């Protein structure tokens, strides 16, 4: 009997986690280079079968049937801004390489700036890696062609390093649009990946889809609530009626 209650509690916890993911997606509808997250679930019976074992999630004391948020790396729509330091990569599975304190990171967030030393940096100040090292600019309005080559007043001064990652799902998401490579991430030099100057890549999420999932999650949650209430009623009847003397 305890199974029904545990199952319902588990459903509700899982739905709360889903809500967090949906909320994070919707909060970031305007964030350049954001990739939407989806919640990945495994069959519930797998989880339930090990109730009480050491696979119970200590946080919630109930097994969840979600494996966790998974990032969807499909391309988002590309929007024109006209800013010479905004760069977008329209095709999927290709990233800019960024130098951080933890080593190389990869991003699709092409809202670049120039730091006081003239280097091309992300808007958090991390240096953008070029094919021949740091990219040092003398003016904030370079011309960047589709191959990522950077020209200032007609002279080639560097080239953006664009990498192609065929298994981006092995990367960990960091804040500010950065993705940190994992052990199994395969990073290759990109071949024939065009970049567009003056454009930014908007998130690959659809408000409609997220709203539908939100409603679905809420109703699912409500259904679990009904299970608990129904179970409560049953126990109530069992205790009162059957236990009547």
Partner 1 sequence: MIDSLYIGATGMNAQQLNVDTIANNLANVNTTGFKKNRVNFEDLLYRDAIKASAEEGVTTGALPIGSGARVGSSLKIFTLGDIKTTGNPTDVAIRGAGFFEIVLPDGSFAYTRNGAMQINKDGLLTTAEGHPLKNAPEIPPDATELVIQPDGKVLVSLPGQRERLEVGEIELATFINPSSLRAQGDGIFVVTPDTAAPTYAKPGEDGTGALAQTFLESSNVKLIEELIGLVVAQRAYEINSKVVQASDEMMGMANNLRR
Residues 168, 178: Cα–Cα separation, whole Å: 12
**Cβ(74)–Cβ(192) below 8 Å:** no
Q: Taking CB under 8 A as the rule, does residue 234 contact partner 1?
A: no
* Residues forming a β-bridge with 98: 105, 128
Binders of partner 1 in range 56-115 (CB under 8 A):
56-59, 63-64, 67-69, 81-83, 111, 113-115
Q: Taking CB under 8 A as the rule, does residue 245 contact partner 1?
A: no
Residues 62, 64: Cα–Cα separation, whole Å: 6
Strands, sheet with 149-152, edge to edge from the N-terminal-most edge strand: 143-144, 149-152, 155-159
Q: Taking CB under 8 A as the rule, does residue 218 contact partner 1?
A: yes
Pick the closer one to partner 1 by CB: 48 or 194: 48
Q: Taking CB under 8 A as the rule, does residue 31 contact partner 1?
A: yes
Q: Taking CB under 8 A as the rule, does residue 10 contact partner 1?
A: no
Distances (CA, A) of 173 to 17, 35, 110, 216: 17, 9, 16, 26
Residues 196, 108: Cα–Cα separation, whole Å: 12
Which position among 37, 107, 197, 204 is part of the footprint of partner 1 (CB under 8 A)? 37
Residues 110, 121: Cα–Cα separation, whole Å: 10
CB of 94 to partner 1, least distance (A): 20
Which position among 74, 212, 222, 237 is part of the footprint of partner 1 (CB under 8 A)? 222
Q: Taking CB under 8 A as the rule, does residue 177 contact partner 1?
A: yes
Q: Taking CB under 8 A as the rule, does residue 43 contact partner 1?
A: no
**Pattern 119-158, binding to partner 1, x per CB under 8 A?**
----xx------------xxxxx-----------x-----
Pick the closer one to partner 1 by CB: 53 or 243: 53
Residues 162, 189: Cα–Cα separation, whole Å: 7
Which position among 16, 189, 212, 235 is part of the footprint of partner 1 (CB under 8 A)? 16
Binders of partner 1: how many residues, by CB under 8 A? 71
Q: Which stretch binds partner 1 (CB under 8 A): 100-108, 187-195, 214-222, 237-245?
A: 214-222
Residue 110, classified by CB atoms within 10 Å of its CB into exposed (0-12), middle (13-18) or buried (19+), is buried
């Amino acid at each position: 009997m305890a199974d029904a209650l545990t199952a319902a509690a588990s459903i509700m916890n899982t739905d709360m986690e889903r809500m967090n993911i949906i909320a994070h997606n919707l909060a970031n509808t305007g964030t350049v280079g954001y990739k939407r997250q989806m919640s990945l679930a495994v069959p519930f019976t797998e989880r339930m079968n090990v109730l009480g074992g050491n696979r119970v999630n200590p946080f919630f004391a109930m097994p969840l049937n979600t494996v966790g948020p998974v990032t969807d790396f499909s391309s988002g729509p590309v929007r024109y801004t006209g800013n010479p330091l905004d760069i977008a990569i329209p095709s999927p599975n290709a990233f800019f390489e960024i130098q951080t304190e933890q080593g190389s990171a990869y991003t699709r967030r092409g809202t670049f700036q120039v730091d006081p030393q003239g280097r091309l940096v992300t808007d958090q100040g991390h240096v953008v890696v070029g094919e021949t090292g740091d990219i040092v600019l003398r003016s904030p309005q370079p011309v960047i062609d589709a191959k990522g080559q950077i020209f200032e007043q007609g002279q080639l001064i560097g080239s953006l390093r664009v990498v192609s990652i065929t298994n981006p799902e092995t990367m960990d998401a960091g804040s500010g649009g950065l993705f940190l490579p994992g052990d199994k991430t395969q990073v290759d030099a990109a071949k024939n990946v065009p970049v567009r100057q003056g454009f930014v890549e908007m998130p690959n999420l659809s408000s409609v889809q997220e709203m539908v999932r939100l409603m679905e999650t809420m109703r699912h949650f409500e259904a679990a609530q009904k299970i608990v209430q129904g179970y409560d009623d049953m126990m109530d009847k069992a205790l009162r009626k059957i236990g009547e003397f």
